[in-house]
Amino acid sequence: MRLTVSTWNINSVRLRIDLVRRFLDEAKPDVLCLQETKCPDDRFPLKELQGFGYPHIVFAGQKGYNGVAILSRLPLVTREVMSFCERQDARHISAVLGPEAGAAAGIAVHDFYVPAGGDVPDAKLNDKFAHKLSFMDELRAWGGRRPSGPAILVGDLNVAPLEHDVWSHKQLLDVVSHTPIETERLETLRGEAGWIDTMRHLRPPPEKIYTWWSYRSPDWAAADKGRRLDHIWVTPDLAGTVRSVTVARHARAWEKPSDHVPVTVELEL
């Protein structure tokens, strides 16, 4: 069985719902995980998204900020929302593929939106950066006690962990998302829990891979000053099933795009 799972920080699901439709029509993933939906639950466009051929949807949101959702062609069970740092701020949602999902049945999908961290990489001077580090510490603790079984972790983790995940390693060492304290934390929590970074599993360094390009760069394609902030990880029992990981770079050039682009993994179960 072929299973495809995509992740995309959409930067407002209602504002960019036509882009969601465009991507789903084009890529046809079995599962699409969204972050930064920026939509309270009572305004979430559930019926419109279901009309795109994804009848099974779980979501958690709030007004104006954050928000996560999982859209699936396959049945979902056991919706769960975890809170971190004693905040109910819609940064995680998970579901398990149901018994009718064939060989994919029982796989848990976790969708995360890690705090961006602001602009100053100093926890003493910047509460947003302190929050980000605390969130990552709690994510590390959760990974150490996560229930066993096959799982996929996706999302905008807001960290570009490796040297070749950014356009300039040296110039970004003191820029939030690529500072040593963030990159070491992310790689530590991933390694301790045994998660496999699917993108680097198939496409190791020194290949440059980016999933985000700043709105501040008017000619983003020519400058190509990107970062790999969006990730798809799998548990070791799924590592051998990973066949491809693709980055839909062209979506960054769509009209009124998100600054992130979709990332898709294909598993052969």
pLDDT band per the 50, 70, 90 thresholds, residue 229: very high
For the chain, give the percent of residues with pLDDT over 70. 100
pLDDT in tens, 137-186: 999 999 989 888 999 999 999 999 999 999 999 999 999 999 999 999 99
What does residue 80 show for φ and ψ, rounded to 5 degrees?
Answer: -140, 140
9 among annotated binding-site residues:
yes
Q: One of 92, 113, 197, 231 is an active-site residue; which one? A: 113
156 among annotated binding-site residues:
yes
Answer yes or no: are the C-beta atoms of 98 and 76 closer than 8 Å: yes
Supply the mean pLDDT for the chain.
97
pLDDT at residue 234 above 90? Answer: yes
158 among annotated binding-site residues:
yes
66 among annotated binding-site residues:
no
For residues 92 and 114, give the distance between their C-alpha atoms in angstroms, rounded to a whole number: 9
Stated pTM of the model: 0.97
Q: Is 260 a catalytic residue?
A: yes
CATH of 2-268, one of 3.30.590.10, 3.60.10.10, 3.30.460.10, 3.30.70.20: 3.60.10.10
pLDDT, position 147: 80
Instruction: Please tell me what DSSP assigns to residue 115.
Output: -
Positive/negative CA dihedral, 63, 68, 73, 78: negative
What does residue 124 show for φ and ψ, rounded to 5 degrees?
Answer: -75, -30
Q: One of 92, 131, 178, 260 is an active-site residue; which one? A: 260
pLDDT, position 146: 86
Answer yes or no: are the C-beta atoms of 57 and 79 closer than 8 Å: no
pLDDT, position 242: 98
Query: What average pLDDT score do residues 46-56 get?
Result: 98
Q: One of 111, 156, 197, 230 is an active-site residue; which one? A: 156
237 among annotated binding-site residues:
no
Q: For the chain, which residues make up each domain, given as ranges?
A: 2-268
